[in-house]
Chains A and B, each alone.
Chain A
Amino acid sequence: MNDTLANTEKKTAYILTLPAVLLVFSIILFPIFANIWISFKEVELKDIRIPEPRAKKIVKSISDEPTKIKILYKLRNSSLIQEIRDVSFQDSFPKNFEIENLDPRCSYEKYNLKCEFGNWPAKYRENFQVIFATNDGSKIDKKNLKSIKPKLDGKSDNILLNTNFTLKNFKKVLFENEFIDLLLTTFYYTFFGTVGSIIFGILTAQMVNQKFYGRTFMRSVLLFPYVAPVVALAYTWELLLDPNSGTLNSLLLNYQIIETPINLLGQKYIEISILGFDFKLRLALTTVIMFEIWRYFPLAFLFILARLQAIPKELYEAADVDGASPFQKFFNITLPQITAVISILFMIRFIWNFNKFEDVFLLTGGASGTRTLPINVYQQGFAISDIGMGSAVSIVIVALLLMFMFFYFKLLGKRVDEN
């Protein structure tokens, strides 16, 4: 009895989870494997369209002969690069039609015209014409004839399914001299974006954790950048930072802080001298990182605030009795309590920033030194139309992320052991 109950439970569980598992498998897991497959192939954007045999049917009446009709099929191979093999053709006609000129490739049986056209090379075109006459002398309805569509069929290689593999994509990705630059840009973007958002998160969480008038309102406002659509925010920032009539530049000019407008999103480097040291700052990249921090610090804020509110009040009361200063309290009580949250946040944000595409794409499109790896996936795959290369770049991203996670957990594991 118990056994059958357990069995029904199992069955129910599988029925309940199956739809979700199938969907996630086909849309997330399968594509990941497909990505590995594609990355070892030379595929371009135009190759992914499957070649089709096509026919356009044109019906022409023959003057003075109302019982006869001329039908022209414009046949073509839709693909410019691939051939189609064993093209077959079929079209049906009303029950009083007799054919006048039968092509040797075709047969006409039971008012069905069937043809075997053989192989069509790429870009193949042919005008194929047949003439019909009614056997009972009745007039022909052209509209009816047009409405029947011919059926075509043929075999072609799906370039994605053949087994020609190459390492060319990976060689290009890894050994082209810009790879190091790409990697560095991605690293700067990810690292400073992550650290910055966590620092701002700590500051704001500490702030909102105190009592003041309008605190709940403040909490909502701090989450605005995170919940609003990225498209709207990115374009607003673009307008704000525009060098010609952007608000920020106009303000700075108005208050005579700068003399000429700064193109914050379009200038790769800016020379800065501090204390006699001149160095070059990656300006556009810095701006993009600022946007990144602005948009994602609310998340760190939310996490850290939740943790701060869970710290027992007694700890602070005891510290007050001991005469601790606010800074001592922050460094000796608050910080140790939130390190766990921060390390989780760091990992999560690092991974997501590493893959961030939309923000940079919308702000700069990857120009002026802001090309990160995810932007490169898009540019290789869709701007240069090299799907294989794009895939290879995304595989490199996954590999780097797995490496990062491996080291991170090893490091974290060590620290936990030490404690």
Chain B
Amino acid sequence: MRIKNTILFSLISTFFLIFLISIWKILATLQGLSINSFNIEIIFIFGLLISLAHLGIGDRIKSIHKSIIFSSIFVFCDGYLIQKLPIWYNVGVFLILYFFINKISKYTFIGLKEEHSTQVILFDFLTLFGILFFSFVILFPFYMMLVTSFKTQIALLVNPLDFSINFAQDIKDLFKSYFVIFKSYKFGKYIVTSTIVSVGTVIITLLFAIPAAYAVARLNFFGKTFLSTSILIIYMFPAIVLVIPLYTIFSQLGLRNSIEGLLIVYTATTLPVAIYMLQGYFKSIPKELEEAAILDKLSWFGIIIKIIIPLSIPAISSVALYVFMIAWNEFLFSLMFLDNPNSFTLSRAIQYLSGDAETPRQYLMAGSVVVTLPVLFIFVYFEKYLVSGLTAGSVKG
């Protein structure tokens, strides 16, 4: 049992080490270093040796000394294998090894005797592996988007793997793509349009949704159950089905290429979920407050303004942020309704830009950064509100 566990432990930890080193090598390659091989076989042998040695030595040396000794040996051998690499690469390898040995140091030879210890080890390492894997897979495209926007077309074609940014250059050269898209491609105007459309959608949606949600949550009227169930069914209705009739109707009414047209459509598509989210929250507000207000002869309007809205600021903010995000990111309707560059939103403008094969990729990526940054900033800053909005309204997308 113990032998089997020992073998499994060293294999799992070795694969984890190979994964760590490979990611580091990929990142180093993207800084322009020429590394042509992962040297998997050698790292595999080293990993096995380190894990076994770790188990064998046990507590006989202080763990910090052990980590430093093993890491240094590995770095020297690695440095011998691939020579002429800058010192920062080797420092990185050292830190990775240090981290790795710290991770495995909680497993001891005696611990491996325990029942389920292989499964526990597998679970631990899978979690670690998952954290790194998903961080890499998710963040890498964002990293690439950002870095590409600072490069030049020639540099990208000469060595597509060199993403190192030269910070020594003039700030005008560094941000050249951004200057170009704002000057020659009118991105400033598109930002204004996108902001007007998104903020406008939020305001109109809230104006319509708060009264309706209040009625659904509190008042008794004929057709109430029908209304509240149909809200969600309507919400599930696909946008692609609405596109052709809306296009024909808007063409005949002359609403295409207008901000008003977009505002109407965005509001209508976000209203159901806004009402759904708000009415759920309104129901949780104690009724006694309103009863006191009715005795004070406050009208329904007064109740909404003076009692409901101040009490449901968190729910209203999460609806507002969620609606803002949907309107800002929306692409399908802006593609259908806007064909005049003067009324483009940001998303539509980037798609238009990419339609021209001549457009250098760094401009495209600079545009993408411009459209992505506000949303990510809002998301990170107001995460608490947005996550509750996402969970409630997440049928959309």
A: which residues have CB within 8 A of B? 6, 9-10, 12-17, 19-21, 23-24, 26-32, 34-35, 38, 43, 48-50, 158, 160, 203-204, 207, 210, 212, 218, 220-233, 235-237, 239-240, 245-247, 250-251, 254-256, 294, 296, 299, 302-303, 306, 323, 325-327, 348, 351-352, 354-355, 357-358, 361-362, 374, 377-378, 381-382, 387, 390-391, 394-395, 397-398, 401
Contacts and interface: CB of A to CB of B under 8 A. Distances in A.
A34 B127 CA distance: 52
B184 interface: no
Nearest to A374: B240
B12 to A, nearest CB: 14
Contacts of B351: 231, 362
Interface stretch (B59-67, B81-89, B207-215, B284-292): B207-215
Given A12-B300, A48-B248, A224-B376, A17 B130 contact: no
A325 B116 CA distance: 6
B271 A38 contact: no
Nearest to B395: A348
Contacts of A395: 241
A218 B211 CA distance: 38
Given A34-B249, A302-B387, A229 B347 contact: yes
Contacts of A43: 248
A227 B379 contact: yes
B144 A230 contact: no
Given A10-B222, A218-B135, A381 B365 contact: no
Interface residues of B, number: 103
B73 interface: no
A32 B328 contact: no
5 contacts: A49-B251, A228-B376, A251-B161, A302-B390, A391-B244
Q: Top 8 closest A-B pairs, CB basis?
A: A27-B268, A355-B238, A232-B368, A31-B245, A13-B221, A34-B245, A16-B211, A20-B212
Nearest to B350: A231
B11 interface: no
A325 B137 CA distance: 30
B interface SS class = helix
Given A232-B368, A299-B394, 19 more contacts: A23-B208, A28-B237, A28-B242, A43-B248, A49-B252, A158-B252, A204-B134, A207-B131, A224-B379, A225-B138, A227-B329, A228-B372, A325-B116, A352-B396, A374-B240, A381-B243, A382-B336, A398-B241, A401-B238
Contacts of A207: 127, 130-131, 134
B7 interface: no
Interface string B183-220: 00000000000000000000000001101101110011
B110 to A, nearest CB: 19
B267 interface: yes
Interface stretch (B30-38, B49-57, B168-176): B30-38
Given A23-B264, A237-B141, A247-B144, A355 B240 contact: yes
B145 A23 contact: no
B237 A32 contact: yes
Contacts of B219: 9-10, 12-13, 16
Given A16-B214, A302-B390, A231 B244 contact: no
B49 to A, nearest CB: 24
Contacts of B18: none
A260 B157 CA distance: 17
A354 B365 CA distance: 29
A62 B139 CA distance: 74
B325 interface: yes
Contact of B376 (A48, A227, A387, A391): A227
A292 to B, nearest CB: 11
Given A17-B211, A352-B397, A221 B135 contact: yes
B115 A231 contact: no
A38 B252 CA distance: 14
Contacts of A239: 144, 148, 361, 364-365
A231 B122 CA distance: 38
Contacts of B26: 251
A387 B219 CA distance: 43
A237 B148 CA distance: 12
B271 A6 contact: no
A9 B365 contact: no
Contacts of B268: 23-24, 26-28
